[in-house]
Amino acid sequence: MFGESENRLLVQERIFGEEYIVNTISRKGIPALTFVFRYHKKQMPSGSIIYRGLESVTELGRKETELVEYAFRAVKALGITDGPVHGEYMIDEKGPVLIEANCRVMGGSAPAGFLDKVFGYHETDIALDCMLDTEHHKEFLKKPYRPQIKGYVKDFYSDSDRAISSSGIIPILLNMKSYYSGWVENAGKTDSIRETIDLETETGCVYLVHDDPEISKRDFDTLMLIEEKYPNLLHSDAPLFLPPENESELTKQITDILNCDSETLINDIIRYYKNGSEGDPIVPEKLLNADPYNREIMELLKGISGR
């Protein structure tokens, strides 16, 4: 990754449980809690375990409280007395286990504005304030962990190497109320994507937050559903809808729809329903009736347009 070969190997016990991020800021040997996130991961057919997303933890239940206390002990045991620590931990029926601890703020590209909206602060300003002012750290330490609102990070993946000509996820994201920012691979950037095997090969990452946490959760769940059941909406070089089995039903209108790129077609469909379904339908009933999959896609897009 950095142009160097590596011949050392760290072997860790394989455990199965829920994985969390617990980030801290220490001053004179005393850690204070900054962020807690819970991972959503998936094991691919190849065996690789990939990121599917993150959700912020807004309340510390018994399990999370135990996890945070363990993280504090881990930071102290590692001899980290001053500065931020990004920690990753897994918890199973036996309790918390350390996965990773790095003397840095959380990685990735999480926008400061997104973190400010979710937590009321972001790590770099907290780290700087605590390191420059011991009293600030003491005051921060006294404050209860109370994020302002729920936030989600959606990481996208591809289950195979594939050629793509369009990315229909773009108009979907732009019509989600909780969409804050992010990126996705699309036809304007690349004509192919690799199978996702790790964080470096994911095909997109977006940030979701809204004043109504139910809206954020609904949008996150919708994106998870699309990725799992309707991946052609994300990245594809195939038509958005399945064609009729009987070629005699391939009218010019249906042929044009099948030849239309996904991004343009999805954008037109969402705009049509947002405008009150005025004029002739973008997709005729004959095509929707050609396969149950087509109807499912349309109902999903109608739901997004009605939000």
198 in helix, strand or coil?
A: coil
- The upper half-sphere exposure of residue 172, i.e. CA atoms within 13 Å in the direction of its Cβ, equals 29
Distance in angstroms between the alpha carbons of the first and the last residue of the chain: 42
Q: Would residue 58 count as lying in a domain? A: yes
Does 133 share its domain with 181? no
Distance CA 277, CA 273 (A): 5
pLDDT tens digit sequence for 158-209:
988 888 888 888 899 999 999 999 988 765 567 888 899 988 889 999 999 9
Does 26 share its domain with 122? yes
- Say which residue the tokens 């139910």 belong to: 214
Does 183 share its domain with 202? yes
Last residue of a domain, one of 101, 122, 148: 148
- Say which residue the tokens 């997303």 belong to: 53
Strand partners, 96: 91
299 in helix, strand or coil?
A: helix
Torsion of CA 175, 173, 235, 288, to 10 degrees: -30
Does 122 share its domain with 214? no
Residue 185, domain extent: 153-305
pLDDT tens digit sequence for 255-296:
999 999 888 999 999 999 988 887 888 999 999 999 999 999
Does 88 share its domain with 201? no
- Tell me how many domains the chain contains: 2
Does 80 share its domain with 158? no
Number of other CB atoms surrounding residue 255 within 10 Å: 12
pLDDT at site 188? 58
Number of other CB atoms surrounding residue 85 within 10 Å: 23
Q: What's this model's pTM, rounded to 2 decimal places?
A: 0.91
Q: Would residue 45 count as lying in a domain? A: yes
Distance CA 207, CA 205 (A): 7
The sign one gets for the Cα dihedral 95, 96, 97, 99 is positive
Q: Would residue 233 count as lying in a domain? A: yes
Does 208 share its domain with 184? yes
Q: Would residue 5 count as lying in a domain? A: no
Does 116 share its domain with 202? no
Closest-CA residue to 89 (of 143, 21, 17): 21
